[in-house]
Amino acid sequence: MNTRNMLTGFFLVLAVLTEGAIALSSTKGNNSVTVLARGPAGLRIEGKGSEVSLEEDDSALTFKVPLAPIETGISLRDVHLHQMLEADKYPAATLRISRSQLTFPREREPVEQTAEGGLTLHGQSRTVKVHYRAELGAGGVTMVRGSFQLDMRDFDIKVPSYLGVSVAPKVEVSVELALTGAGARPQHAEGGNEVR
């Protein structure tokens, strides 16, 4: 539950930040992905992680997040999360985003918009929308913040319940990343928006 949403947000944010044919570099300590599940009586469960890899081609960026490293702060709950996601059978979530869906920031020109991508999680693929803000800062570091909401049922993930208490099937995901890229080449998206 938390992992799926976290992964999607993480992937989308990464897609926004990456440019042309790049070598993407992100420092684990500078990235955070938080997945928030809510339940009755103020119940809040947060899952956190930071691992991601990127593959790219001329038309799209594909992000992959391993599920096993996602942690909730309680080891038994982590075990249940990984069982629920069937992380042994489906070890990662992937998000593929067309370059034409992305707008990249320029120095002193932050970008804020929503992009669509194809998320594969728990053996299911769905289109997701992520709202993001990206800002190119000093030294070529791009700071990205993204957020979205997913429904576990869309990915055939059973909504967790314990002693009759269940979390809501919709989970909130937020991502913050600091990325650097090298070797970028400008590209133009449909409609004349420059994609870097």
| Any domain includes 117 | yes
| Any domain includes 156 | yes
- Whether residue 54 contacts residue 25, with contact meaning beta carbons closer than 8 Å, is answered with no
pTM score, whole prediction? 0.72
| Any domain includes 191 | no
User: How confident is the model over 57-113, as pLDDT tens digits?
Assistant: 888 877 777 888 889 999 999 999 899 889 999 999 888 888 898 888 988 899 999
pLDDT at 30 exceeding the cut of 90: no
pLDDT at 138: 80
Determine the Cα–Cα distance for residues 148 and 14; give it in Å rounded to an integer: 14
| Any domain includes 44 | yes
User: How confident is the model over 101-144, as pLDDT tens digits?
Assistant: 888 898 889 999 999 988 899 999 999 898 889 899 888 888 87
Map tokens 């995901």 to a residue. 173
| Any domain includes 195 | no
| Strand 170-182 with 165-166, pairing | unpaired
CATH number of the domain to which 144 belongs: 2.40.128.110
| Any domain includes 192 | no
pLDDT at 151: 92
pLDDT at 116: 94
Determine the Cα–Cα distance for residues 64 and 44; give it in Å rounded to an integer: 26
| Any domain includes 29 | yes
Q: Provide CB contacts within 8 A for 115, sequence distance 6+.
A: 12, 15, 16, 97, 101, 102, 129, 130, 132
Burial letters 139-173, b for 16+ CB under 10 A, else e:
eebbbbbbbbbbbbebbebebbeeeeeebebbbbb
Which one is predicted more confidently, 119 or 196?
119
Domain residue limits at 172: 2-184
* The Cα angle at residue 98 between residues 51 and 12, in degrees rounded to 5: 35
The tally of domains found in the chain comes to 1
| Any domain includes 158 | yes
User: How confident is the model over 5-23, as pLDDT tens digits?
Assistant: 444 444 434 333 333 333 4
H-helix segments, the chain: 2-17, 75-84
